[in-house]
Amino acid sequence: MPDYGQLVSFMVSQIVSEPEAVTVEVEQDGHRAIVRVRTSPADLGKVIGRNGRHIEAIRTVVKAASLRSRDWVHVEVRD
């Protein structure tokens, strides 16, 4: 099973201007996980994107990574 916290943290840190402000919390329960990401307020728009396009892409990549181990992962983002 991939480390979803690490996966999300990697993607988000690489696309923001203040990677040191990125924190990721994972709540895992068997095959279900909730990943909560926080960024600096200035970077929030970049992580979400116009019409949520960026966060949807991040979620889709996480979903692709979760298919083989049949996990269910939800990604939330806030500042």
**Contacts to another protein by CB under 8 A:** 1-3, 6-7, 10-11, 14-17, 46, 53-54, 56-61, 63-65, 67-68
Smallest gap from Cβ 51 to another protein, in A, equals: 8
What is the rounded distance in angstroms from the CA atom of residue 78 to the CA atom of residue 41?
8
In the bound state with another protein, the residue whose beta carbon lies nearer, of 30 and 67, is 67
Written as one letter, the residue type at 39 is T
Smallest gap from Cβ 29 to another protein, in A, equals: 20
Contact 40, 16 (CB under 8 A): yes
Bridge partners of 72, per DSSP, are 32
